[in-house]
Amino acid sequence: MKKKKKYIREGGICQFWDNWAENGTIDYQKLGWAIFHPESIEQKGTNPSIINGQTFIKAMKKVYFGGQFRFMYKDASEELISEDFRARVLGDYHLMLKRPKCGNVQISNNVQYIGPFYFYEQKDADSIVKTESDAVAESTDCVFVLSNASAPGTVAEIIHATMLKKDVYIFYEVNSPDGTVESSVNSDLWYPLTFALINNSQNTHLYPSDSYEDAVTACIEFVNQNYR
């Protein structure tokens, strides 16, 4: 018989039981729920849910969308810039160019886009790497869209997110390796993908596609189903 799922407040930790887990404890942010405090300004305007007499709200997800910017802004047309998967997620390419002064970009009531952005106030390499590394560390989820020519920076971000045990979702273009290495992921980027599977297996999710555009489409569908 399927067990009734229930959540119990216990000092900021939710204990849970359901049909796939006998029992256990998990951080409430991992469950995607936070205990509701009416006096909290940040939580006003949310839709609380009552579970076993305790009021919960959906915790804010902060999502980092990693992947190569496949254009040079000064030479690119608006049409080309708008094809970037982040522009399609946000609905306006201007939103991915520079972080707004008010903070992150809101995707929905409970989901924020926290980077990367094309322009930063400080343009030196050290500052950019630190800013984007901090954004990965701040994130709850990291979503990556990869082509077979993805930039080294994206690979580094995958490794960083993996070691921080983030929820990692990787949409990638399938391309069989040259035969010198046997890999189940079928990608020239077999090393970082395999690294993520080995070191963060519970939180790493791979979505192979036949082309880069198919990977982008799969990512957009995932966003619409999970972050809207």
Query: By the 8 A CB rule, do 142 and 161 touch?
Result: yes
Report the pLDDT value the prediction gives residue 76, as an integer from 0 to 100: 86
**Dihedral, 114, 119, 122, 123 alpha carbons, nearest 10:** 130
**Tokens found for residue 100:** 């707004």
Q: Which residues are within 8 A (CB) of 219 and not within 5 positions of it... i.e. 6 or more apart?
A: 85, 89, 143, 145, 169, 171, 207
pLDDT recorded at residue 181: 65
Work out whether the CA dihedral 224, 62, 147, 169 comes out positive or negative: negative
Nearest-angstrom CA–CA distance, 151 and 20: 38
When the pLDDT of each residue in the chain is averaged and rounded to a whole number, the result is 78
Ramachandran sector of residue 201 (left: φ over 0; alpha: ψ -120 to 50; beta: rest): alpha
**58: pLDDT confidence band, cut at 50, 70 and 90?**
low
| 181 vs 72: CA distance, rounded Å | 34
Instruction: Indicate whether 29 pLDDT > 80.
Output: no
Mean pLDDT of 52-75: 79
141 bridge partner residues: 63, 167
Is 90 exceeded by the pLDDT of residue 21? Answer: no
pLDDT band of 2, cuts 50, 70, 90: very low
DSSP for 161-185, please give it: HHHTT-EEEEEEE-----SSS--TT
180: confidence class by pLDDT, cuts 50, 70, 90 = low
The arithmetic mean of pLDDT across residues 130-152, rounded, is 92
| Ordered structural domains, the chain, with CATH | 6-58 (no CATH), 61-226 (3.40.50.450)
Rounded to an integer, the average pLDDT of 65-71 is 91
CA trace torsion 43, 45, 51, 56 (10° rounding): -10
| pLDDT tops 70 at residue 177 | no
The more confident residue out of 151 and 93 is 93
Q: Does residue 14 surpass a pLDDT of 90? A: no
pLDDT in tens, 189-209: 899 999 999 999 999 999 999
**pLDDT for the residue 53:** 55
